[in-house]
Amino acid sequence: MSANIDIVTRFCEAWSRRNVAELVDYFTEDAIYHNMPGPPIEGKPAIKTLLQQILTPITWAEWEMLNIAAADDVVLTERVDRFDVAGKRVELPVAGVFQIEGGKIKAWRDYFDMATWTRQTAPAG
């Protein structure tokens, strides 16, 4: 279990480098990424495309790990994900669920309040 926690910890820390290729390398070929409330994204190529879209407007990222726990191949995280998006600082509380298979992320589901994101990223006015 500690190896799975290590994988997820390193993946979360890698977000600060905003390197899509590095992030995608953490996934299995048939991985599923479900960033709630959007639809699940299946397969490494689709995950790469989505991560590129997410990271394009982000100029800085830092994920603070508040809690992390594992049971068998599942790792649970409680985080505060921080970003600079189009000149705005965003702080987003997130609960993440990661399923690990063969040292890679097989499934990743993040749960957060979309209104919290939208309120912080909406154009001023």
52-68 CB burial, b ≥16 within 10 A, e <16: eebbeeeeebebeeeeb
| Rounded CA separation 9/77 (Å) | 9
Token pair 């209104």 is found at 115
User: Which of 30, 72, 84, 110 is flagged as catalytic?
Assistant: 110
Count Cβ atoms below 10 Å from residue 83 Cβ, excluding itself. 24
Residue 110 is a catalytic residue: yes
Per-position DSSP letters for 53-79, written without gaps between them: HHHTTEEEEEEEEEEEEEETTEEEEEE
User: Which of 25, 73, 81, 84 is flagged as catalytic?
Assistant: 81
Q: Which residues are catalytic?
A: 81, 110
